[in-house]
Chains A and B, each alone.
Chain A
Amino acid sequence: RKEVEQDPGPFNVPEGATVAFNCTYSNSASQSFFWYRQDCRKEPKLLMSVYSSGNEDGRFTAQLNRASQYISLLIRDSKLSDSATYLCVVNPPGGFKTIFGAGTRLFVKA
């Protein structure tokens, strides 16, 4: 089993739709969690951290479920500009060997 797993997609959604991605992790002692966005042929960029209490940033909501060992990202009112690959990131115990998921591709269409 991979340490961090994501559905590769692609997710094809119309503008204005709500879309959600999940990411599962195998190490229950993992310490911190993040979502990154990566545009085609560009570097990844931090989208948001994922806190135990959940957090929201505009149209984006991230949640952590430690009992089931997954994190989620919800995007409301999708925009064309949201089209990208979304990477799930987990910090294992020890905290230095950050692990990336393979990413979920999102296409938002007019």
Chain B
Amino acid sequence: NAGVTQTPKFQVLKTGQSMTLQCAQDMNHEYMSWYRQDPGMGLRLIHYSVGAGITDQGEVPNGYNVSRSTTEDFPLRLLSAAPSQTSVYFCASSYGDPGELFFGEGSRLTVL
């Protein structure tokens, strides 16, 4: 059972570089979301999608782009990495209530 798969698990970037965090789910969930988790701040919603072709901003969308061309995939793009984007990123999906989430294992990003 693959569930939600995130890649890469670890990444180090230099300031100004761009990259894409990949997220795929095989559960046919319509709702998908990206969170970042920083010490003492809990998980904060970056972007979410309620289905293919539909995305919207969460609490902290600046510096990130998303797209949803298929039900399965929801990549997160960092346009020009900044040290403030050093964090652990989690992708999640849900089949019903967006509060009942299945999470990927996370991607640890360091921006130097």
Inter-chain contact A98/B45, CB cutoff 8 Å: yes
Segment with Cβ contacts to B, from A10-18, A38-46, A54-62, A74-82 = A38-46
| B residues in contact with A69, CB < 8 Å | none
Tell me the nearest residue of chain A to B96, going by C-beta.
A32
Inter-chain contact B35/A100, CB cutoff 8 Å: yes
Contact with A along B68-85 (1 / 0, CB 8 A): 000000000000000000
Interface residues on B, range: 20 to 34
Question: When chains A and B are docked, how far (Å) is the Cα of A8 from the Cα of B103?
Answer: 22
Contact with A along B39-50 (1 / 0, CB 8 A): 011111100101
B33 is an interface residue with CB less than 8 A from chain A: yes
Q: Top 7 nearest A-B pairs by Cβ distance?
A: A102-B42, A43-B103, A100-B43, A91-B99, A100-B42, A34-B99, A32-B99
Interface of B with A (CB < 8 Å)? 31, 33, 35, 40-45, 48, 50, 56, 58-59, 90, 97-106
Q: A91-B97, A102-B42 are in contact. List 9 more A-B contacts (CB 8 A).
A: A43-B105, A46-B100, A49-B99, A90-B99, A95-B97, A96-B48, A97-B98, A98-B98, A102-B41
